[in-house]
Each structure stands twice: as C-alpha cells, then as structure tokens.
Structure 1
Amino acid sequence: MLLRPLFSSLLLATVLLGASEVPTAPIPPGVDVARALALTKAWQDDQPERAERKLRVVYWTPSDREPAPSHRERLTRVLTYMQEFYATQMASYGLGRRTVNLEIEADGLLKLRVARGANPFNQYRTESGQEIRKDCVAVLEKEGIVADDETLVIFCNLSTWDAEKRTMRQNSPYYAGGDHRKGTAWQVDSPLLDPALLGEKTAMLTDGQYGHISVGRYNSIFVGGVVHELGHALGLPHCAESPEEKRTRGTALMGSGNRTMGEDLRGEGPGSFLTLGHALKLLTHVQFSGSVKGMKEQPTVRWHDLAVDGGNGGNGGNGGPITMTGRVDASLPVYGIVAYADPTGGGDYDAQIGAAVPRADGTFTITVPAPSTSKATGGDLRLVACCVNGAASDRAAKDDNPMLPFALDQGRVDVTPARIQLGLLAALRANKAGTLTDAMRQDLHPTAQEALRRLLAPDHAKDKPEPAEVAATVRELPLSDTRPSAASTGWNGVHYDRLPPQDPLLCGGKLFTHGLYAHAEAKHVYHLASAWKRLSGSCGIAGTGYGPVEFVIRGDGKELWRSGVVNPGTPLTFTVDLTGITQLELLALPTPKGNGGAWSTWLEPMLHRE
C-alpha cells in the first residue's frame, strides 16, 4: 500500500536513502505507466475487496542463545530502511510510494515475535530453513495467523561475532521464495546488522565468507540481503542491470544489488535500484496494493503472433537489444509484461530484463538489452504476464509461459533459434486444432520440421528395433529410434524425442530434434550385441528443470563415462567407445539434494558403426 510515515526510524531511512527528493527513473517507450495504473485501479475499484496485509516478522534463536543485543531496535531500522527503499523506487517510476506494511507497536518499534528452537546452536545449518520455519509457524498459530497465507521474514540468530578479534561467522539459512500472496525470507541477524552503519568506512571486520571488509560494507551485504531476499519472498526472480543502468543507476536489487546497497553513502558506487519490470510486477502484490480481490485466482494467459528480432538475428545485427512483439489476452486484465533474456548458467543473476504495458488491443512491443556475458553459448527468452489480481504467468502452466531459445557467441546474440521455436510451436498448435497443412510444415526451418515429425510420432518404442537388430548397412542411428530392453524414469514416465507431455527438447538455449527424457533417477538399457563402435551426444537439464543430476554411461556393467554433477546450463558432450560392448546402460542419478526439478535429458544420442 502507499507508505504513510509512522515513526522516527523512517527519518533515518529517508536520510540514508536520500528519499526527501524522489528521483525520476528513465521509462522506455512502450511502458505506459499511467495506463498500467488505470487498468489496475479500475479492476480493483469494481466491487473492491480491501485489506491491509502486513509483513509478519519472527526472531528465531536456538535453545542455547538469547537474542542478539538491541535486536528489536536494530531490526526496526533494518525493515524501515527496506520499506523506504521500495517506496522510493516505486515512486521513481511514477507508481506512487507503494511498499510493504510493517506491524508497529505503540512504542514505535517493530512487532517482533520470538521463536526458540528445540536444539542448540551447533545443530543448525544453512539447510535448516524448514525446521526453523516450523518453530516460527507455531508461534504465529498462537495468534491465529495462518503462515501459509502471509509473507514472513525470519531473522535467524545464527551468527557469531567476536568483538575482540573482530571476526564474524554465520551458519544460517539465507534464501527466500514466494509469490503475490505469500512467501518466506530467511535472514541472519548479528549485533552489527544496522543500516545506521552503512556509511562506516574505517571500522573493519573479517567475515567468514566475504573476508576483510568495512562495517559499512558488511551492512551493504546483509542489510542489502534483507531487501533482496524479501524481493524473492514477494515473487521477484533474479535479474541483472544493463550496461547503461550500471553506469547511471548502479546495480539491480535482484541481481547483485544485495552487495551494493548503500555503497553511495561511502562514496564507493551508485548503490542499488529496483528495475522497472520488477516495480511493475510489485504494483499489484497484496502488500503494495491493499487489494485481495481475486488474489487466489490463477488467470489463463494466451500469447498470439509472437515475433522476435534484434541481436544478430540473421539480419546482420551488431549484438543490439532483443525486441519481442505480439498480442496477449487473459481471463483477467493484463496490465504489464516482463521479459527476461537469461543466458544459460549463472543462476539467472545475469538475466537482462525488459518491460511493457500492453495496448488496448493487447498488442505490445518489449525490448530487452542483449545479455553481456561472453561465457554462455545460449539462453532463453521468457515472457511473463502481470495480471490485475497480482498473479503472474511465470506461476502458471507452461502454455501460459513461453520460453524461447537464443544463441550467444562471445556475447553476440542470435535470435534465430527463437524464430525456429516459434514456428514449431505454431505448427503444434495448428496440429492440435486440426489445421496443420503440408505447406505449413514445409515453411518450417529444417530443424523444426524434424522436431515436429518426431513430436507427432507415437511416444513409445514398442515398434522399434533393438540396436542389435538394426541392419549392418545402417552406419549411424539416433538411439531414440531403437527399443530399450528396459527403461524407467524418476517422474512422469518414459518419453522419446520430447519433454512430457509433448514439449520440444530445449536445453541450454538450443532446440534438439531427438533424445531421451530421463528425469532422475532414470535408467535406459540397450542390447547392442557388440554391433556398435561408438556412442556420441550431449546431456543436460532440459526445459525449466533446475537439477542437479549426474549422468553415467555403463557398458557390460563397467563405467565408461561419468559427467560429474550437472546444473542447468550448456549441455555436456560425450563420445564413448562401445567396441565389444553387448549391453549399454544410460543412467541419470540424483545428487544428495534429491531429484526435485531433475529434468535430466539425453540429447541427440547417436550410435555409430565406426
């Protein structure tokens, strides 16, 4: 909701952030902020449902520790600083001083519930987040608060400060997740966590993770971390600033902005800012809007006539921005569109972001800066529709959330793969509608033609030969064109040349025409009868999977190749000697982190006679 000054800590936050004069942020063409505000207001004011949702804050401490000194006063300053940061950034785009709401007691300090763990300090780890959250949920339940319907911030008393040696260690959960209705952010508290110390350059400490740094730098990292992780709890993913924004505005909050927060107070840089796309997304979050109308509804979103241009894109471009056009409609009004150009790897920290407000007919033009990385060889373009009830299509079914590949060569973008994918998706829709023609097939790029042929083929191998049965005149053959003697996956069955149910094989910003879906834990066994000499191909985490997994190839029970732990990113290539091998096994194994999101896939594996 719109921020109303309530207590003196706000004065400190205002001074630290320089918010007495709200800066005006640049707004690119195609982002009609006034239209976005009008759309949301009209919908929310029609049979309105209002509620002031407030951040629920819990201080958690292990059984053998008391809260850190002055914890309530310090954390009031921390969260007031956070509150003012969001208000200032939203206002800079003409969206009003909208921000999260805090629970403030009569003494002007934060309402800070205390939860105590059952175990001592040394039994908790970074991975203890859910265990700690359960303790906090129990405290909230005593007040009749349903934690799963709230946005929570949990400060964990899991740091160790040695004032004499001036060393800091922390072993705390430090992550977050959520959406427009609910979320949880785990933070770490310490006696030094205080935005009033952001300007301190002379007092130093040695942090176990960040080394020898000033107290001000420590607070940039950890006060900034509070603001950043809360962004995740509010439903914001990572993103990076463009080179121009880096020069003129600083570091994107949801990129590495948690490490640069307040550095301008020390003359070390311009600090951190909230990107326009993320400000648009927050416009209808229940904390920012005060509207709970339809907040549990997940709208159906449909994209039409999508087209991609820019980069090198086959047009002789010079690596410039990527432009996407199209039309969107949904079961609820769409007031904003956010696009991400995310290179593979990097955990989406390096994803460039763009924003648009659709016109009255639903059409839009959105521009995304070209990713600046020179390391990745590809990436994905993602479109997200922001609806008036706060929901976003990145939380919806894949049909509502298009993902298009692009190629990267030393930082130069080629959007040809996106165009190929768009043609393929259009053909799949036409087939589903019964309108696919031979002429439409022939108009596709050859890669899309082959992918379509396989996607429309039966999704089984019962009519295919075993590798040992293939005529010797066939010198090479896709492994997915043969029948395994046994096959199993860890989730959603066995599938060939597709991701279930009928999605193209996308991995690392590239479309693959054939392969084996192998969600961990998966095993494919093939009878070779010593008839093949070599297996080649790639493997990786496909689609929206997040892994990690490990790939293993065995021959006659002997390990022939092992990938090591594989995370999302550029697929790994392999070539394995099969000379004399009678039985081939392809394994996709979960890591100790489990098999959640382990969309492991064998990509274009080929058998060779020589």
Structure 2
Amino acid sequence: MRTKFLALCLVLATSIVACKKSEVATDTSTSELPVDTVYTSPQSRNLNLIYFVPNDLDTLPAYERRLSELMLWTQNYMKEEMLRNGYPNKTFGMFADLAINRVKIITIRGTKPKSGYAYSGGAGNVQAEINAYFTANPTEKTSEHTLVILPRYEFKPDGTPSGGPFYGLGKWCFALDYEGMDIKNLGKSDIEGNRFSVWFGGLVHELGHGLNLPHNCQKVSENSTLGMALMWAGNGTLGKSKTFLTAADCAILNVNQIFNSDSKAYYGAVNARVTKIHADYSASKAAIVLSGRFTSNTKVNSVVYYNDPNVNNEGVGVNKDYNAVTWESKAIGTDSFYVEMPIADFKYKDGSPYELRLKLVHENGTVSENSYAYQFVNALPVLDFSTKAEISKAGWTIAAFSSQESAAAATRVIDNDLSTGWHSQWSVAPVASYPHFITVDIGAQKILDGFTILNGDRRAVKNVDILTSIDGINFSLATNLQIPKLGSIQAFAFQGPLTFRYFKILAKSSWDGEQFAQFAEIGLYKN
C-alpha cells in the first residue's frame, strides 16, 4: 500500500525556540530559506540533524527542502507506529518551522576531502569535527542522538549513488543524500522509486539504530498483516509496501531521551539482573512460556525478548541478528515478567541453535540484557535454562586456585554477589596463562546433580572441566563443557548424581583467544 506524505502538525504547548537560520553553521550562499526562519520544538531534547560536506564536494541542490520533507514524514511515521503500539503522541523531537515545512539542519563543511571520510573508518573523523562544532556551539547539541547525512560522493555506472559512512554507531547514525532523495519518489516502483526506497529506507533504518534499536524481524503471522519490520529489511520496502516498527522497537523508543519531554536524566547506569527464570514449552498453547523475576535499582517499564537463530552458523549478535523474532511484555509490578511466544511465529525450527536475549527496558532509557541458549529439535523448542534451586554456600571456602588478582580474588566466585567475580593474575608479572583453576571446599559431603556459573562479560572462559573429590587430593572428572558467553547464570547437569566435598573448575580456553580468564559466580544444585 502506498504511503502518503502527511505534514506533521505539532501542538506546540511548550515551545523551544532555536537559532535563526543565519546563526548556525549553514552554507547561507546556497540556502533557499529566508533568514528569519525560526525553528521550534515542544521538546527540550531533539535530534541533532547534521549535513556534513567534505571540502571537495558541495551541498546538493534543494537538500534543505528534500531532507526536511522526508524527516517530517519520518517523524510522523514513527508517531503513527508508536500509537499503533499503545504509545500516543510519541515521536522523536526535532526543530522545525512548520509554516514552511522545514526542519533545522546544521550544515558543517569538513576540513578533509571525501577520502578522509570513507565508508570504512571515516566515521570517526566526521564525529570528531562535529563534536568540535558542538564544543564551540554548545547550545546546538540538545540530545545524545545525532543523525549525520553526507552528500553522495559519486554515481556508479548503473546510476547507484555511493559515498561515505552509512551505518549506526551507538547513538550516532550516518546516511547518504543524493539528488533523487526526494519525497516525490516515495511509493514509486520504477527504477528511481526502487532506488529511493533503498536509500531512504536505509536512512530511517540507520536512524532506528541511532535511537537505540537493534535489528529484529517480523513474526510469521505479521508478514500478511503488518509487512516488513523496519529494523530487518525495511530499507527495501519503506514507502512502497507495509513497513512497521515491532512492539519491541516501540517499547525501547518509549523510554528514548528524545521521545519524551521531561527533564530527567537518561541513559544512566543501572544495576539490574534476572534472578529467576522459568522456561517451558506448553503443548496446549503451542508456545514457549517464560516467567521470572528480576531486581533493578531503576524502574523497568517493559521486558523485550529477542529470539536470535544461528542459521547455517551465521552467528548471533550485532549484524547477525536481522532474523531475531521478538516479543514484548509489560513488567508485572516491580520485579516480575511473563510472556507467551507461539512457535508458529518462529520461521526457523530446523535445529538451529537460538540465543534468547531478554532485555529489561528501564524508564531512564537504559536497556539491560540477559542471554540464554536453547534450540529446536524436531520442530519443538528444548528449553533447559530455567533457574535451579542452588544449595546454600554457607561454610564454603576456597581450597586452592591457580592465580588471582587482588581486586578480583577467587573468594568472590562464592560470595553470592553477581556484580563481583574472579580474574586471573594479569597486573603483576608473570601474567597467568591457561589452564586456570579454582577449587572449592563445600564443607561436607553432599549428593548433588549439577553446577551453575555466571560467565564473565569479558575474558569469558570457554572450554572447562569440572572435577570432584571426597578428600581434596584425588579428583575425578565429572564433565567437560563449553560454557556459552552469555550474560546470565547457566546450569549444567552432571551425568548423574555425584557425591563429593570438593569441586574444581578447570578452565582450558577463552572465547576471546587471550590468556586472561574471569567469571563471576559458581554454585551447585540438587534436583
């Protein structure tokens, strides 16, 4: 369905007046705007919109009109998607003069030629010069979110434009302008329209990244009803066919700094973690059912669930997560969550391993993450990451260790504090190398079924042996494992119940290939 352009009419209940056009770093010799143009916004924090021009290029014709109309369309598009997901009157702040349909674009001429701002590696140079501008003009930066648009550097033989950086970097994002970047091409299916959809859709997709959104795709059932998720392949459909923001996207945007008009601080550090999780497949509901509890020192508004399949060993994580299918639920009270995820909405059920990234969306815009591994077998999910009831660590002591940092001692892996942990010796020569080990005395013989571990965020251990002993001298191998690099407590069962007093974790390799090792906590459980 062709999407029509709607000029966004904001009710300026609390107007913030921006600088006049003549007061910002704009190429006034080519600007078509009157010098008394005044930009306003109802929000105190707004998108920093930069047109950055290498010194061997010039601005492209009518860029202020073309980009203004497209940014106003985008602002309204996100407003409509937020409303559809239950967040009325929410979109990103942006300075505009709606009487003439223009938005505030700060034009900055770079000190280097386009070769200094290449696609690969050039973003840092762009950022450095924009930051220098903001330092000299501090009132021009009104938020942490910046969209940088660069004019195209050239055209390929087939007419495709090409140029500098075009991606997201944290709260920065980069896009390309070319002569056909014009709202008149919105919805067209000819060559020019298809090209426009890719580049304009790409701009809005990268803006999503700059607004804190990771990749994710539509559920199977949403293909026919909602179309293409913007943060999947919406850069090929936006304006031509149905393209939408997922519920997970909107939950994250709801707490975005420039989607809100309050004055509180955003993106501060939080101390949060999932403390209990129960994962099960309900045959009657034909769904994965997750429930659990969390602790947080900052209010959690929503919980979002990214199910990222590792199809054909493509990997998981950034730029390998386009096919992550997502759900969203509201926090229950101050510490709980519950969600049902029908497996009919999963495209991949062929045995590919999955990473479930469970994210707590805090009211200050910070998103904290916990990860869990599972897979589909015979088209059904196998979920073995539910929290185990660990035995008490009262009376536990460290019997031996290979090395430690004084500020990250071995005792920290049994202190019941998930924010502390052990690190192998690195600050004093000789630096300890693999293998590393820690031996724990649990104080008395017990019959136990498995152990738990919270791996390190950095220097995470990979291949480990777990050994047990009655006397602390003679040890037997209980199991050898590969510990996934996940930000959650993981449980591993022994092959059967074991009787022991001492257990040793022997780390033989790391995920990053370095000789350093760390993990935060270990425990034991009985079924």
For 2:374 and 2:270, locate their aligned partners in 1 and report how far apart those are by CA, in whole Å.
28
Which consecutive unaligned segments of at least 5 residues does structure 2 have?
10-41, 405-429, 440-451, 467-479, 488-507, 520-527
List, as ranges, runs of 4+ consecutive aligned residues in structure 1 with deviation greater than 4 Å: 17-20, 145-149, 317-320, 455-459, 486-489, 493-498, 537-541, 585-590, 598-601
Aligned residue in 2 for 1:118: 111
For 1:161 and 1:319, locate their aligned partners in 2 and report how far apart those are by CA, in whole Å.
53
Aligned residue in 2 for 1:350: 323
Q: Deviations over 1:348-374 (max 9, x none)?
A: 111111111123364321123544225
Aligned residue among 169, 177, 196 for 1:189: 177
Q: Which amino acid aligns with 2:390?
A: A
For 2:511 and 2:454, locate their aligned partners in 1 and report how far apart those are by CA, in whole Å.
20
Aligned residue in 2 for 1:92: 84
Aligned residue in 2 for 1:381: 356
C-alpha displacement of 1:379: 1.9
Aligned residue in 2 for 1:607: none
Secondary structure, counterpart of 1:254 in structure 2: helix
* Contact 1:201–1:216 under 8 Å retained in 2: yes
Aligned residue among 203, 207, 212 for 1:235: 212
Aligned pair in 2 of structure 1 residues 539, 403: CA closer, same or farther (>3 Å)? closer
Secondary structure, counterpart of 1:365 in structure 2: strand
Aligned residue in 2 for 1:561: none
Secondary structure, counterpart of 1:167 in structure 2: coil
C-alpha displacement of 1:382: 2.0
Secondary structure, counterpart of 1:402 in structure 2: strand
Secondary structure, counterpart of 2:69 in structure 1: helix
* Contact 1:309–1:324 under 8 Å retained in 2: yes
C-alpha displacement of 1:145: 4.2
For 2:454 and 2:276, locate their aligned partners in 1 and report how far apart those are by CA, in whole Å.
19
Q: Deviations over 1:481-529 (max 9, x none)?
A: xxxxx9767xxx975599xx963499xxxx977169xxxxxxxxxxxxx
Aligned pair in 2 of structure 1 residues 367, 153: CA closer, same or farther (>3 Å)? same
For 2:8 and 2:43, locate their aligned partners in 1 and report how far apart those are by CA, in whole Å.
27
For 1:350 and 1:200, locate their aligned partners in 2 and report how far apart those are by CA, in whole Å.
27
Secondary structure, counterpart of 2:232 in structure 1: coil
Aligned residue in 2 for 1:144: 138
Aligned pair in 2 of structure 1 residues 107, 18: CA closer, same or farther (>3 Å)? closer
Which consecutive unaligned segments of at least 5 residues does structure 1 have?
1-12, 21-49, 205-214, 265-270, 394-400, 437-454, 463-485, 517-536, 545-584, 602-610
Q: Which amino acid aligns with 1:71?
A: Y
TM value normalised by structure 1 = 0.57
Aligned residue in 2 for 1:260: 237
C-alpha displacement of 1:220: 1.9
Aligned residue in 1 for 2:128: 134
Aligned pair in 2 of structure 1 residues 320, 117: CA closer, same or farther (>3 Å)? farther
Superposed, 1:198-209 pairs within 5 Å as 198-202=186-190, 204=191
Aligned pair in 2 of structure 1 residues 373, 78: CA closer, same or farther (>3 Å)? same
For 1:18 and 1:150, locate their aligned partners in 2 and report how far apart those are by CA, in whole Å.
26
C-alpha displacement of 1:342: 1.5
Structure ranking higher in helix proportion: 1
C-alpha displacement of 1:244: 0.2
Secondary structure, counterpart of 2:294 in structure 1: strand
C-alpha displacement of 1:99: 0.4
Structure ranking higher in strand proportion: 2
Q: Which amino acid aligns with 1:337?
A: V
Aligned residue among 47, 60, 81 for 1:55: 47
C-alpha displacement of 1:147: 5.5
Aligned residue among 217, 225, 228 for 2:194: 217
* Contact 1:542–1:600 under 8 Å retained in 2: no
Superposed, 1:206-605 pairs within 5 Å as 215-264=192-241, 271-310=242-281, 317=283, 320-344=286-310, 345=315, 347-360=320-333, 362-370=335-343, 371-373=346-348, 377-393=352-368, 401-409=369-377, 412-416=380-384, 418-419=385-386, 422-423=387-388, 427=390, 430-431=392-393, 434=394, 458-460=400-402, 495=436, 503-504=454-455, 514=464, 542-543=485-486
Q: CA RMSD in A?
A: 4.2
Aligned pairs, number: 403
C-alpha displacement of 1:80: 1.1
* Contact 1:352–1:369 under 8 Å retained in 2: no
Q: Which amino acid aligns with 2:326?
A: I
Aligned residue among 68, 78, 98 for 1:76: 68
C-alpha displacement of 1:123: 4.3
* Contact 1:159–1:168 under 8 Å retained in 2: no
Aligned pair in 2 of structure 1 residues 361, 173: CA closer, same or farther (>3 Å)? closer
TM value normalised by structure 2 = 0.66
User: How many percent identity over aligned positions?
Assistant: 21
